[in-house]
Amino acid sequence: MQALTSYEKIGREKCIEKIVDVFYQYILADDSINHFFADTDMEKQRRHQTAFISYALGGSKPYTGRSMEKAHTGLNIQPEHTDAVLKHLSNAMALHGVTPQEVDAIIAQVSQLRQAIEYK
């Protein structure tokens, strides 16, 4: 029997959509990072983020967005910004019943993107 992917464990795209909605509620309420989204179409951003997270966690739909480097160039994201985003993602997942072990595994996976997004 094949092991479940993180995508399957947390409830697939419908659950990820709900997590992303809460995630952006947290992001937009956080004055240390909400300025990065001041001119962002948040509905488009939510769809994009849902697709990205779904793909990153093992969903079957291919991700067709820009690379992490291109998407974050010119933003000068610092480690403290990434830390805030990861905290909000962790909290949004926990709120939706994702186990602490799965949250830790997902955050470890997403944290590997730091090099592609920080200091650009």
pLDDT tens string 81-115: 999 999 999 999 999 999 999 999 999 999 999 99
Whether 7 is in a domain gets the answer: no
Whether 69 is in a domain gets the answer: yes
What distance in Å separates the CA atoms of residue 113 and residue 64, rounded to the nearest whole number?
17
Which residues span the domain enclosing 81?
12-117
Q: 12 — alpha (psi -120 to 50), left (phi > 0) or beta? A: left
- Reported as a pLDDT band with limits 50, 70 and 90, residue 40 is very high
How confident is the model over 46-55, as a mean pLDDT? 92
In single-letter form, the type of residue at position 116 comes to A
CATH of residue 63: 1.10.490.10
Can you read off the two tokens belonging to residue 80? 């403290």
Cβ neighbours, 10 Å, residue 71:
14
Whether 33 is in a domain gets the answer: yes
pLDDT tens string 56-90: 899 988 888 888 899 999 999 999 999 999 999 99
Whether 4 is in a domain gets the answer: no
Residue 87 DSSP class: H
pTM for this predicted structure: 0.92
The residues, ordered by sequence, that sit 6+ positions from 33 with a Cβ below 8 Å of its Cβ are 27, 81, 84, 85
The count of structural domains within the chain is 1
pLDDT tens string 2-33: 788 899 999 999 999 999 999 999 999 999 99
